[in-house]
Copies of this chain bind each other. A is one copy, B any other.
Amino acid sequence: MLLYGYFRSSAAYRVRIALNLKGLTYDYRFIHLQKNDQLSPEYAGINPQKLVPTLDDGGHLLTQSLAIIEYLEETRPEPALLPRDPVERARVRALAQAIACDIHPINNLRVLRYLMKDLGVAEDKKDAWYRHWVEDGLQAVETILARDPATGRFCHGDSPTIADICLVPQVANARRFKCDLSACPTVERIAAECAQIEAFARAAPDKQPDAE
C-alpha cells in the first residue's frame, strides 16, 4: 500500500493511525500542501479533489479518509475499529463525522487561503475563525462523550475506534492553534489515553519523514 499524505494533514493523520492500528505497513509519498503539490496535474489525476490522503491499495486509488478507513475495516477486520451493534456503530460514526464533517473542513488550508486572499480577512481574524470552529465543535463532542456511559477509556468503550482516530488529529490541531480546551476535559483525557498507544504516537505529524 502507498499512502499519499502530508505530515500536517489531519485527514492523512487519521489514515496513518488506522493503518498502524491494523498493523499494516505502507509506503509514504509526500504531497507538500504548502508548496501546492496537490494541484499538480499528476496528483490531480490520482485525486481529482486535489486533497490528501489517497491510498493506493494494489492499484485501487481510494480517497476520503473516512471512506478509506471503512474500506480498511471491511478488508482487514482485525482489530475492529467499529463496534458490532448498529446503534453503537452509529454513535461512533456520528462522533467521527462531528469532527470530520463539521470541524475539519471549515478550517482546511484551502478555506483559510480563501478567507485571507479572496476575502481579505486579517491573520488574527482568520485565527479566531479557526479557534471558533474547533472550540465550538469540540465542546459539542465533549457533551456527547461526557453524558453517555458508552464512553469509556476511549470515545466508545475501552478500545480505539474511528471516533478516536478523528479526535486525536483534531486535538493536535487545536493545540497548534492554541484553542481553549478547558471546557473539554473528556476530550483531553481521551487524547492523552490515545497518545500512550504506539499506533497513535507513531502517526503523529512530528514523527513523519516530511515533518518540518
On A, residues with C-beta under 8 Å from B are 48-51, 60, 62-64, 66-68, 70-71, 74-75, 86-87, 89-91, 93-94, 96-98, 100-102, 104-106, 108, 111, 114-115, 118-119, 121, 125, 128-129, 132, 137, 140, 143-144, 147
Contacts and interface: CB of A to CB of B under 8 A. Distances in A.
A48 B93 CA distance: 15
A125 B114 CA distance: 11
Nearest to A82: B70
17 contacts: A48-B143, A49-B98, A49-B137, A49-B144, A51-B102, A62-B90, A63-B94, A63-B98, A64-B94, A64-B97, A66-B97, A67-B90, A67-B94, A71-B87, A101-B104, A102-B108, A118-B129
Contacts of A115: 119
A122 to B, nearest CB: 10
A100 B132 CA distance: 21
B119 A49 contact: no
